[in-house]
Structure 1
């Protein structure tokens, strides 16, 4: 089988990029022919090359809305798909999902779109929700399957009449395993907290800092892993609150599993989500998780068992959850073990790969 994966940005490694690279490598390892098409040159191209995956840069596939670039992007993508003649076109990210579905339709190629969280989810303004739902409703008519990474995303797509139930398939994200040595060993010293996320919407590092500022009487340190346009404002807030000696900004890192291994808990505060890979990474490492109860997060984190879920903009509950995990090392260890067991039973990469492969086979069977 020849599969072409398409994603918009090559300049950042977000959850969708990590997901796509893992999936492409898994398919290649199974003996399938894989090509990745991505906008521009950047880290995604570099990582794909390191993995031995054929990755091709498209000049006009850009994230920003631009009529001229988008028209050129459509024709560029359409011609590339016509040349490659894949059995399946699998699209990731909003812009690639729109242009890719239209280009696949023009070439009579079966298309799959993975929604890594919908742009009409709760937390987005009502006006934008209405606009984006209308766009996705139109796009759903010209592809064979839509994969959602959570039950939550499937349900809100049904609620907004985006697609029929039969067209949508839930495939929870999964993560490749790491060596046993990278499973967290919990320490009985000052709690080391970590947040792995880009500094841009929907992530809210400022809310984490505000909560930590109210519990300076406790022993904790905080690491932020990731970069992005909002980093400078968060750094300024940390300095203003006098927390610079406790908060570290590490930028984008290639050693996230190792950093998680040295941490005691993961914190992820967001306005909206699909099913964040960073939460699965933490569960894989045996870490308890404090996260916003948005999107499909509750499908991974069991509140009070493997971590704590806090409501969107729930400052008081976030403070209380942090206080508990910082002061209760036994709870951290117990919750981390529960999260690890949940990862092993529900969120391994092998499970995700086989479920995705079943989607491909189902589409090809329907075509025969």
Structure 2
């Protein structure tokens, strides 16, 4: 008989945590496991649910605060072998439900470094910290995306390092690979992510403003800063150099059209978009944040600037756009280190640890 695996996410939107569990659900989809993905809101959907063997359950509750009884009933009736949850509010919800149920294997995935997030979330962060500290103890393991996150969570919540397992995010193999550079002397940059303060979009625009006029930026993503960012572009006469595409489903097909992905976040867990870029052979220039140092190999697939050093980041952008890159080798290295089979096995191994 197949063992039931449940993965709980807020939606199937464009977020990094949602993408990780969407990929992992495909790894566990086998003769050994019966996989169900529980979502609170199916209206936000960037990932296909047309995957044979995987059941998608929409609670239609939207908010975690309204989901307790529905989630409790499903887990009580289905009696899963393992439950995986991700993101602060979903982890808190799952931890609360687990106080009233026995789940053989209960695993949370932390999506951000809580110490880094303090500056950007304020009261909500203190709320999440309080309840996360309380309910993380209910989980058998908490997956951290970097050693830095592992140390931060251990220190902040007083959790043993043995319970905090560092596992990177996975990528799916694809046939895309960057080939050469942009024509006619153009330098095409791309930034991808939710348009929110902690992603550092305004400082990226400041840096673009300082670059030569042949450097162009495409911004992919949506969020509350869309209009303020557009206003900033207009106020600084960058309309011909900055393009907004909004949220799109096939990010890789856009990344591959560009010379370089630039990542300017103040806080991250393990930036999936960086993996997406190097998985198609596109180099990355980024500020040091989260687990970025586990992904970027200096001069091989990009450069890492020290956090807040805009001048260094700008210099790295120019360096990266005026040299040759081994795009195929970048792609192969990424698929070797972060392939779904390797990452999936690391998650599966947690089910055999007592």
TM-score for both structures, normalised by structure 1: 0.87
Task: Return the offset for 1:216.
Answer: 3.0
Task: Return the offset for 1:150.
Answer: 1.4
- 2:270 is the alignment partner of 1:275: yes
Using a 3 Å threshold, how does the CA distance of structure 1 residues 30 and 342 change in structure 2: closer, same or farther?
Answer: farther
State the match for 1:234 in structure 2.
229
1:96-175 matches, within 5 Å, as 96-109=90-103, 110-121=105-116, 124=119, 132-175=128-171
SS of the aligned residue for 1:41 comes to strand
Partners of 1:126 and 1:238 lie apart in 2 by: 26
SS of the aligned residue for 1:111 comes to strand
Partners of 1:228 and 1:126 lie apart in 2 by: 15
Q: Judge conservation of contact 1:39–1:61 (CA < 8 Å) in 2.
A: yes
Using a 3 Å threshold, how does the CA distance of structure 1 residues 245 and 268 change in structure 2: closer, same or farther?
Answer: same
State the match for 2:340 in structure 1.
349
Using a 3 Å threshold, how does the CA distance of structure 1 residues 342 and 201 change in structure 2: closer, same or farther?
Answer: farther
- 2:308 is the alignment partner of 1:308: no
Task: Return the offset for 1:265.
Answer: 0.7
Task: Return the offset for 1:131.
Answer: 5.6
Q: Which of 213, 216, 223 in structure 1 is aligned with 2:212?
A: 216
Q: Judge conservation of contact 2:217–2:243 (CA < 8 Å) in 1.
A: yes
Q: Which of 80, 90, 96 in structure 2 is aligned with 1:86?
A: 80
Partners of 2:286 and 2:31 lie apart in 1 by: 35
Partners of 1:349 and 1:50 lie apart in 2 by: 19
Query: Deviations along 1:57-98, whole A, 9 cap, x unmatched?
Result: 2233516xxxxxx2x422221112112211001001111100
Q: Judge conservation of contact 1:48–1:55 (CA < 8 Å) in 2.
A: no
State the match for 2:15 in structure 1.
14
Higher share of residues assigned helix? 1
SS of the aligned residue for 2:49 comes to helix
Query: Deviations along 1:228-268, whole A, 9 cap, x unmatched?
Result: 11111111111111111121111111222221221111111
State the match for 1:207 in structure 2.
203
TM-score for both structures, normalised by structure 2: 0.90
- 2:28 is the alignment partner of 1:37: no
Gaps of 5+ in 1: 64-69
Partners of 1:127 and 1:23 lie apart in 2 by: 31
* Root-mean-square deviation (Å): 2.2
Q: Judge conservation of contact 2:264–2:286 (CA < 8 Å) in 1.
A: yes
1:316-327 matches, within 5 Å, as 316-326=311-321
Name the count of aligned residue pairs: 347
SS of the aligned residue for 1:124 comes to helix
Partners of 2:6 and 2:143 lie apart in 1 by: 16
Q: Judge conservation of contact 1:7–1:96 (CA < 8 Å) in 2.
A: yes
Task: Return the offset for 1:340.
Answer: 3.0
Task: Return the offset for 1:122.
Answer: 6.1
